[in-house]
Chains A and B, each alone.
Chain A
């Protein structure tokens, strides 16, 4: 029986991890909602942002969080360009399958370029506050993890407010729910779809910076992220952001708790088991998400 402190620590770590998962899954859900695209390259962009944060820190000695000022707008523009110049040009009839391949190709390209430019060596940011931690009823929580969680939480909240309370958010939700009707209502759905993609990729920039704060990164790391993220969006019911967020928290917590008896490697299988169970028992997902019905 693990001690109470260890258990509490796992719960808190699970929560913190779940926050990052939730932010990234929100991005994936956005792409899927807008275009029925499963964006395999999402986690490759995540790692790219983490590398930029690391490189920025090594080069300038400044806090890696400042790199967000560059990566967020840059990723946003990249996302818009990717949607308008690449994905929108695929044939609608085969879009879902071909877009998977295209984003997969982009992921390979990013991984290869990172490996070429920075080698396969594992990289880690050293900060003045890297080692400091908080003591919470016997649980030790690293400060960098709290910062990362704060960043993810703030971004998620911002995304939520944007979608619920801005005119652009209204247009984006309308586009996701019924593209033709949205067009009839005078929404330029192509432009909205592009911006939606930019927004999704911006979440990868924020997530990557948060990740860089307390994780070791290497070029092929993105494969360890895309599996869990895809499981999360399926369990959450493809297309539902709140569903994805709940699934992210639940599965993040499960992973963290299972690490105690099983170790880190086997604990990861919880995502895949949840994925298979969801598809076999309840393909429409467990938390809303009616888009999944025919997809």
Chain B
């Protein structure tokens, strides 16, 4: 079974916007390898005839009528925002992190 490499952990960390120290990359590579290895054992018992389960309950077509429900007020919506301006969420420069 191919192991999880340090580079793969670094890639995942970047996608998840996590800043990891070099020793953490090695540490998590080992841990993730263990986790994936454990999960992979499921496929040893579940053959082709057992489809992967995404939803444990046998429900389909749960829908909502197209009726307007009250929204939050702008004040409520913005109450947890770290920064706001002009009744909008203020976020840091979008480009530039690359």
Partners in one complex: no
